[in-house]
Structure 1
Amino acid sequence: MFTKVIFALLFCMVSLTVHAQSVTISGLVTDKLTKQPIPGVGITVKGTTSGTATDASGRYSFTTNRKTPLTLVISFLGYISVEQEITGNTKGINTELEPTVILGQEVVISASRTPERILESPVSVERMGQSTIKELSAPSFYDALINMKGVEVSTQSLTFKSINTRGFNSNGNTRFNQFVDGMDNQAPGLNFAVGNIIGLSDLDLDNVELLPGASSALYGAGGINGTMLMTSKNPFDYQGASFSFKTGINHVNDDNTGNQQFNQLDVRMAKAWNNKFAVKGTFSFLQAKDWQADNYSNFDRIGRNFKAGDRTTDPNYDGVNVYGDEVNANLLLVGNSLRSSFQAQQPLAYGAFNSLVTNPGLTSYNAVLNQINTNPAFAALRPAMPQLSPFLALMYGLQRGGVTSQAVSRTGYNESNLVDYDTKSLKASGSLHYKVTPTIEAIAHAAWGTGTSVYTGSDRYSLRNFSIGQFKLELKGQDFFVRGYTTQERSGDSYISSILGSFINEAYRPSSIAGPNAINGWFAQYALAYSSALAAGGSNDAAHNAARGVADRGRFMPGTAQFEAAKNSIVNNTISSGLGAKFDDKTNLYHYEGLYNLSNALNNVVELQVGGSYRIYQLRSGGTIFDDLGKKLNIDEYGAFAQVAKKMFDDKFKLSLSGRYDKSTNFDGRFTPRISGVYTVAPNNNIRVSYQTGYRNPTTQNQYIDLSVAGGRQRLIGGIPEMLNKYEMLTTRKPYTDASYRAYDASLATGTPNPALLKTYEFDPRGIRPESVQSYEIGYKGLLGPKFLIDAYAYYNQYKNFITAVEVYQQNGSTYPFPKFGVPVNAVGKVTSYGGALGIDYLLGKNYNLSGNVSYNELGDLPADYINDFNTPKVRYNLGLGNREVIRNVGFNVNYRWQDEFFWNSSFAAGAVPSFSTIDAQVNFKIPSVKSMIKLGGSNILNKYYITSYGNPAIGALYYVSYTFNP
């Protein structure tokens, strides 16, 4: 199916295009001073979108259906643009560019899906070009994205980072799209981009363009907060072999591990023949020790706040990065259950004990024991007292109020004992390129990445040997493209850390307080030992510590053979088997799309583009993520868009109108428009205004997830009616609200639970629906003289059907605590946010460049019952200073970053993220004779450990030295 559709589309596009009349224009661009060729120079036909860029040897060739005479616009950052009139011969057009210091001349494509100067973009856009990539102070371009205006990052591990703009940040950000060479590189089973696991290496990256804000009108569902496009180097333009080796250390002054080594190798090779056929291959391998999450704060998962105490002082301790301690029980309820079981199994002994503990004349536990030892009526009990005395102590404690309503949690394991921190990342890609005509290129591309990392969602997931493959066929020309690709996700040996911790606990002693072996259960042993210690005259704290010692007897300790055997068994069994913590995800995505730019065909009277797409999600997790055990789940999505633009008023004002219609299997179709205008108030000074709409479908997990987390004490389920009905939440077993359950839980302290406090939660019978946003933006971008560039914008967003989640509790017989469910829902009411940003670039002279930006984001209206997960600092700013050649062949770059304190709220944990500042810096030495560069640098060079999101590891310095050949 995939191949047939692609080749049919390719044939149609070729047939439509190769018969069009065209003129071929070719030439060479060189530096006026050095006479050396300049790669990457933009060549466009004035007044059209026709054009290309020079290759590595400074040459270019393209075709246009414009007849001579015509004018070429030849521009490149750092050089004076040239307009060259072509009246006769169109081949061998040689041009010399004169170096200068003019900013803002970069050409971007993402804002309108057609080339235009960044100064004239109708919406805000950030760009990172090759000259910037080579001089980065961060270890990689992906690490440096945080320096862009308005960009924020949630770092969950060394190689797993989530990018976001304009608020509502999250660990796995589903509101931000990420494309690599036109392919959405989300993991289809997760619905968000997994950092740069299958992305591009610095050696193969041509440029990055980032659109903050809604972009659904051009790019479809998702991208409600932003879209990033990464473009690799074309082998026709960038040939030869390149490699880079980087080595360094991290975990400096880290008490968890001590100094650890970091190594990374990148290789790229490309070759073209006769400007007709080209091939490219890349390889990247990274190996390091990951950052360790070691937040041991005591977290109340019902109230979602912090409480005092640690494992030694709080019987119900639940550490943020401790797993297995999520499992708890109420000591009073356990005691009552044990008393009832004892009554059923030993009615005579129970009756005798009950007469003693209820006798008001026996004022102490010793008096009760004395009665048994001296009263002939109890002589028959004396031989069994070693076995029965714990029940006597329990009954005494229950009767006399010693055993109170106290939650007790199991002893957990630190994350470092459960998660694989041996980070690895291997990426490889290859592509074949064939030019059907000088302007039509066919591409077959394959990319595959695998590795070991850690990701934070509703839990901490250890991603071991996780892999994603992307495979693409594409045909593109100057006015069109058609492509099809598939993304194949494989979970490898990945597992849930809290399930692992809980199951190791269960392996040495079950938690259960029901059944024939209940007496040997952990909570039963705890309750009996606690009662005995308390009855013997111990303090409450001492009794709890003694009880834990008894219940933990035989506990598997990290590093022992018993612990490792249990761990290996659990991580090698799937979640759906009921015996393990391992995922078995083999979810796939298939995507087909095409675009045609009719502007040239219409002689550029107006700019007109049309396009469409079709996507299939195949959910295949074997019941370990989705509700797909024994069945197959598919989700189909399709859409179409059109955009028209026109310059008016002597080309001083450009108006653009865009619109897109999309439909998904489980939801109604919707239309998302965009209107933008750019007004040139003076040469190289433009004001832009836009109204944009965006939407995103509930993710595959929002729809069909069915997953146990938090040590098995919580289940995440999808929000569509099918899933709600599976658990009878719309009918016979409506769940209770979080607030009412907490009130009911508190009533247990009285010894008489009050069911009247429980209030049912009413789900919308339509289930969860797509989220949408209306975004209003005004901005200015301009050159104030040739050395000063300023870019500013302000925005206001209003969300409808904002996708959030609720936690509810469903009664399951007499089981306590009630099972907890996390369910995605739409917030009722308005959710608004607003903010702005300002960025400057200033050329100081003598090749010094000063840059800086500041962004402000604020949350507006919220529904009354909405849990705030804006997760964004109000203020953040970046400052940069660099010089590509401060002295001969030596350059440097320094970036300083600061952000304000804010509160982070997620399904995993909630807490304050303190303000922090970091400095990244590098010094490089270029060796032109061997086309090489040596770089000495570091990120967070002052080694001030910080967190970007609560519950994730603290990030320290990474110091490195690298050697790059032919960058």
Structure 2
Amino acid sequence: MKRRILLSIVMLCCSFFAFPVLAQNVKGKVIASDNSTLPGVSVTVQGSFVGTSTNGDGAFALNVNFEKGPIVLEFSMLGFQTQKISLSKPNADLKVTLKEASINFDELVVSASRVEERILEAPVTVTKVSSNQLLAGGGPEMFSNLARYQGIDVNSSSMLLTTISTRGFNSPKSERMIQLADYVDTQVPSLNLNAGNMLGVAELDVSSVEIIHGPASALYGANAFNGVLLTNSKDPFYTEGLSLKLRGGNRSLFDGQIRYAKKLTDKLAFKINASYFSADDWMANDQSAKRITSAKNYGPGSAFGYDALNTYGEISTVQAGVTTPIVPGEVIYTPGWSETALIANDNRTLSYRINPSISYLITDKIKATLDYKRAGGTTTYQSTSRYRFKNLSVDQFRAELKSDKWFLRAFRTEDNGGDTYDLSFLGARMATLNPTAAGLPALPINPTTGQPYTSHTQQFFTTYGGAIQQGATPAQAYAAASATWPQAGSPSFNALRKYNAELNQPAGSRLPVNSVMTDVSGQYQFGFKFADVIVGGAYRAFGLASQGAVFEDSPGGDRIENYEYGVYSQVAKTFFNDALKLQVAARLDDFKNFESKFSPRASAVYTFGEKRQHNFRSSYGVAFRSPTQIDQYIRLDIGSALLLGNVRNGFNGYNTTLLTQGSPAANIAAVAGGSTAFNYAAPRLDLEQVATFEVGYKTIIQDKLTFDITYFRSNYNNFIGAQPFIGNTDGSRPTAGQIAVAVGAVPAPDPNDNNVVRARNRLNDASSPTRIIQVWFNSQQEVTTQGVSVGLGYAYKKELNFNANYSYNKIGDLPTGFLAFFNTPENKFNLGIDGEFKKRLGYNVNYRWQQGFVYEFPFDVGPIDNIGTLDASLSYKVPKAKSTIQIGGSNLTNAYNTQIWGGPQLGRMIFAGILVDIK
């Protein structure tokens, strides 16, 4: 069905080629100061959507309506001064000369205030990156190139899954920052995750990227907590023609993109983008011992095995419910399998995207757009586990009506997990599967029972225990037991992997998510005499489905419904001949599962100088983060714990120290006697809150030097975290008797063994009402952060430009053991140079360094070392062929580095390619 819709859209686009183009009454040519032609100059009628761009000869033609009086034509291009020309009648021979400008004083942004304004006068910290700057980067994909800019952090779970953050709290999910493409949210609904730029704008269609640093909930709603990343695409009315990009590189990299845009009439235009990227993915292979485990852990070389960071399927005697210790006082682990072994020959990462779009000018000032996007791919993601997103796909539809004063926008996003699987589940299910029950070859006979072993885990522990009983050392016993373990690539391993990777959770490891998100929003801008006012609102609904594999839904049942909505307004007023601009914005949001929240922001900008080049800014804002859909509705049994959503009545239980501190039997007896020393409570989830104060100064000195400095201080409350505890699945606190049964201290009917009365550890048993449970909750610990970022740019000449920036981020003192997930280097900097010779040869070099820090995440906690990487690119333009040859690379010194604890080590990437641009 979806393919038929897409085919219909493409055929409709193609049919428009027969439409006649009306006679154009404004024509001309744009040249540079040296009389060379300028292709690609944007030519627009100010205050309308009427516009075009110059062709390869610098010529342009427009049909302009003069019935309502004179119009203003605006000519703009990166690297040149914007020029405005007034016309009162048609002109078929207009000559326009643009002067080169090393720095654009009038560069505009829209994201900061949701209206156009000079970036120098934005009330909050904003970074703007042009399409040319992105294309000049040396990274494998677009977002990795943003790491060189002031105050921006980049994290990579794999080659294509790159997430962006500002001002701390980096994570592979980047849940505290929203990511928009033409103001449309790009998150995957099931996981509230932005999967890199998979659903974003293709690089060839990017006009610019704007990044707001810090809270922006007053205008963007919940989750605009630490910032907003907005990607603006090119308008087919302004940027016509064919663009083609082809790249190849090491790790079998292939990157192909195509964009075609055509103005069919003065009213109708379309564009279509398609892209495909593939390469050998980076694999995580850190064999360090995990620090967050449910049982005693060891390290490499241990005679008892251990739980390794990137090995999966290490079942412990605790998890397996072994009640008689094999080696007194010790926990034994099965060997498991590495990430490389489990992913096996499935290590290709890829992404594809196809995106047709049609725009129609209802009037010169009202534009309608219909847009469809199909995106998908295969990559690896990290959260509570490592997940292989295999054949993940997303469909998105957008409809928009927009004028220079208002907009109405609606979009719908639907995801499909495809063949996505959880590596932890895959390893655990392979280790504990009964091959006979799955129709696979039976295991050898267990001498104790006279029947085939029921799993490789049972065979391993029985062999280990038998060797110990015969006098073997633990190391000898471990070697003997390991000989029974399926080796990667063996027939038994391959059969186990195939069976479990294709079987849905909870029995297997496949995650069949299929959720939808629907959003409707609108805004109107009033130009009152006393102030500029905007008002707007938005409604968003989720429909979650996973066939019971991830959420608390059921196979074949209805989707879980969730919603949120909000209204906002902003008032801006200037004083003292526009030298001082005061702005107040506020938003009220309501949620199905949470109380209403109010997000205010107030700012002041003072501007002075002949060219209004000196700008002081200050602001105070409050923002909220809504728990993700996973936080609210998860029901996922990972074996060692049961993960549950927490939007009902909260949970009561006991800290896990009940079983790990001192004597468990004595502790349980104390609980039976009324002791509350081990009590634990996780109240119902609420929203996180941050309040941020910032001041900054931005200037341009002598048309050559740019300087930007910002200081901020943020206070976080109701911090969302997760912690395991002992509890009942219905939220009640277990009785001492229930705990005794769950830990195997007393016998009870076993539902897994025909209700035979026996004593067995059942804390990890799906049938047990008392489990190790993990839910998301709000910490009462206040967290304070502060930081400074400084950016400096010097445009010495066209052939040589210098850029440098430095960021300092610090989190306040916290209680020992409290995990804030700050995950941000205290110090980092970038040093770069770039330039262009004779309008042909371009280069770009950047060195990035960041200080090491401790990375905290539910997956595990561990150190990230200092990282220093060198990226560079070189381009050569061939005007006659309308082409640019590019070579470049990231991490050229091959300084292997890990950006996420438990993630892959990233090495050197080198590419060469060609960019064809036919106007």
Q: What TM-score, normalized by structure 1, do the two folds share?
A: 0.81
SS at match of 1:299: coil
Structure 1 residues 234 and 440 mapped into 2: Cα distance closer, same or farther (>3 Å)?
A: same
Residues 304 and 182 of structure 1, relative CA distance in 2, 3 Å threshold: farther
**CA 1:524–1:451: 2 relative to 1, 3 Å:** closer
Tell me the residue number matched to 2:290.
299
Aligned to 1:838: 790
Whole-angstrom distance in 1 between the partners of 2:449 and 2:263: 72
- The aligned residue for residue 99 of structure 1 is 100
Give the one of 325, 328, 344 matched to 1:404.
328
2:859 counterpart residue number: 908
Is the Cα–Cα contact under 8 Å of residues 695 and 711 in structure 2 kept in the other structure?
yes
Q: How does 1:298-447 map to 2 (within 5 A)?
A: 298-302=289-293, 309-310=299-300, 312-329=301-318, 334-335=323-324, 403-419=327-343, 420-447=346-373
2:696 maps to what in 1? 779
Instruction: Give 2:521's aligned amino acid.
Output: E
In the other structure, the counterpart of 2:423 is 497
Q: Whole-Å Cα distance in 2 between the matches of residues 149 and 227 of structure 1?
A: 15
Q: CA separation in 2, counterparts of 1:304 and 1:941?
A: 41
1:389 matched residue in structure 2: none
Offset at residue 518 of structure 1 (A): 11
Between Structure 1 and Structure 2, how many residues are aligned?
A: 837
Stretch of structure 1 that moved more, 64-73 or 480-489: 64-73
1:823, CA displacement in angstroms?
1.2
Q: Which residue of 2 aligns with 1:30?
A: 30
Is 1:622 aligned to 2:573, yes or no?
no
- C-alpha contact 2:142 2:197 (8 A) present in aligned 1: no
Matches within 5 A, 1:97-246: 97-246=98-247
Cα pair 2:573 2:583 within 8 Å, conserved:
yes
Partner of 1:582: 510
Could you tell me how far apart the structure 2 residues matched to 1:59 and 1:514 are? 87
What one-letter code is carried by the residue in structure 1 that aligns with 2:706?
Answer: L
Deviation at residue 817 of structure 1 after TM alignment: 7.2
Residue 562 of structure 1 corresponds to 492
Structure 1 distance, partners of 2:51, 2:133, is: 18
Structure 1: runs of 5 or more not aligned: 1-23, 250-259, 337-393, 395-402
Partners of 1:52 and 1:60 within 8 A in 2: no
Query: For residues 869 and 295 of structure 2, what CA distance do their matches in structure 1 show?
Result: 30
Indicate conservation of the 8 Å contact 1:50/1:64, yes or no.
Answer: no
Q: CA deviation at 1:799?
A: 1.1
User: Match of 2:725, as an amino acid?
Assistant: V
Q: Confirm or deny that 1:486 pairs with 2:412.
A: yes
More helix by share: 1
| Cα distance between partner residues in 2 of 1:430 and 1:73 | 28
The residue identity in structure 2 corresponding to 1:562 is S
Matched residue, 1:879: 831
Aligned to 2:80, what secondary structure does the other structure show?
Answer: coil
> Do the aligned residues in 1 keep the contact of 2:658 with 2:668 (CA within 8 Å)?
no
Structure 1 counterpart of 2:842, which letter? G
Q: Considering only CA atoms, is the larger Rg found in Structure 1 or Structure 2?
A: 1
Say which SS state the counterpart of residue 801 (structure 2) adopts.
Answer: strand
Contact 1:617 1:634 in 2 (8 A): yes
Aligned with 2:323: secondary structure? helix
Cα contact 1:830–1:861 (8 A) shared by 2: no
Report what 1:364 is aligned to.
Answer: none
Matched position secondary structure for 1:502: helix
* Contact 1:51 1:62 survives alignment (8 Å): no
Deviations 1:108-153 (A, max 9, x none): 1111111111111111100111332343333443221111111111
Separation (CA, whole Å) in 1 of partners of 2:534 and 2:25:
24
* Distance of 1:698 and 1:332 partners within structure 2: 34
Cα contact 1:281–1:431 (8 A) shared by 2: yes
The letter of the residue matching 1:489 is D
The 1:440/1:28 distance shift into structure 2, 3 A limit, reads farther
Aligned-partner SS, 1:418? helix
1:606 deviates by 2.0
130-139 or 669-678, which deviates more: 130-139
Q: CA 1:809 to 1:824, structure 2 compared with 1: closer, same or farther past 3 Å?
A: same
- Secondary structure of 1:493 counterpart: coil
Q: 2:782 & 2:906 partners in 1: Cα distance?
A: 36
User: What is the CA–CA distance in structure 1 between the aligned matches of 2:709 and 2:25, rounded to whole Å?
Assistant: 38
Distance 2:323 2:452 in 1: 10
Q: Supply the AA of the counterpart residue of 2:248.
A: T
Where structure 2 has 5 or more consecutive residues not aligned to the other structure, the ranges are 1-23, 437-442, 728-738, 745-759, 764-770
Matched to 1:674, the amino acid is: R
Matched, 1:933 2:884: yes
Give CA deviations for 1:359-393 in whole Å, capped at 9, x if unaligned.
xxxxxxxxxxxxxxxxxxxxxxxxxxxxxxxxxxx
Deviation at 1:647, TM superposition (A): 1.1
Cα distance change, pair 429–850 in 1 and its aligned pair in 2 (3 A): same
C-alpha distance 594-532 of structure 1, shift in aligned 2 (>3 A): closer
Matched residue, 1:3: none
The CA deviation string for residues 378-432 of structure 1, in whole angstroms up to 9 with x for no partner, is: xxxxxxxxxxxxxxxx8xxxxxxxx412111122011111123111211111011
Letter in 2 for 1:539: T
Which one of 792, 801, 808 corresponds to residue 718 of structure 2?
801
- Name the CA distance, whole Å, in 2 between partners of 1:753 and 1:536: 35
User: For the residues of structure 1 that align with 2:846 and 2:889, how far apart are their CA atoms?
Assistant: 11
Q: Percent identity?
A: 30
With 626-635 and 108-117 compared, the bigger mean Cα shift is at 626-635
Q: Residue 624 of structure 1: CA displacement?
A: 1.1
The aligned counterpart of 1:828 is: 780
Compute the displacement of 1:826 (Å): 0.6
Matched-pair contact (CA < 8 Å) for 2:175–2:193: yes
Q: In structure 2, what is the equivalent of residue 18 of structure 1?
A: none
- Pair 1:331–1:639, CA change in 2 (3 A): closer
Q: 1:519 to 1:246 in 2, by over 3 A?
A: closer
- Could you list the per-position Cα deviations for residues 562-590 of structure 1 after superposition, in whole angstroms to 9, with x for gaps in the alignment? 22222222122111xx4211111110000
Q: 1:103·1:783 contact (CA, 8 Å) conserved in 2? A: no
When residues 304 and 200 of structure 1 are mapped into structure 2, their CA distance, relative to the original with a 3 A threshold, is farther
Describe the SS at the equivalent of 2:596: strand
* Counterpart residue type for residue 414 of structure 1: S
Task: Please give the alpha-carbon distance, in whole angstroms, between the structure 2 residues aligned to 1:530 and 1:274.
Answer: 78
Q: TM-score, normalised by structure 2?
A: 0.85
In structure 1, C-alpha distance between the alignment counterparts of 2:423 and 2:243, rounded to whole Å: 40
Counterparts of 2:145 and 2:513, CA distance in 1: 31
Cα distance 1:895–1:104, how it changes in 2: closer, same or farther (>3 A)? Answer: farther
Root-mean-square deviation over aligned CA pairs: 3.2
Q: Which range moves more in the overlay, 899-908 or 496-505?
A: 496-505
CA distance in 1: counterparts of 2:82 and 2:377, whole angstroms: 45
Return the alpha-carbon distance in structure 1 between the equivalents of residues 457 and 330 of structure 2. 12
Q: Equivalent of 1:593, from 521, 524, 527?
A: 521
8 Å Cα contact 1:63-1:439 kept in structure 2: no
Match of 2:621 in 1: 692
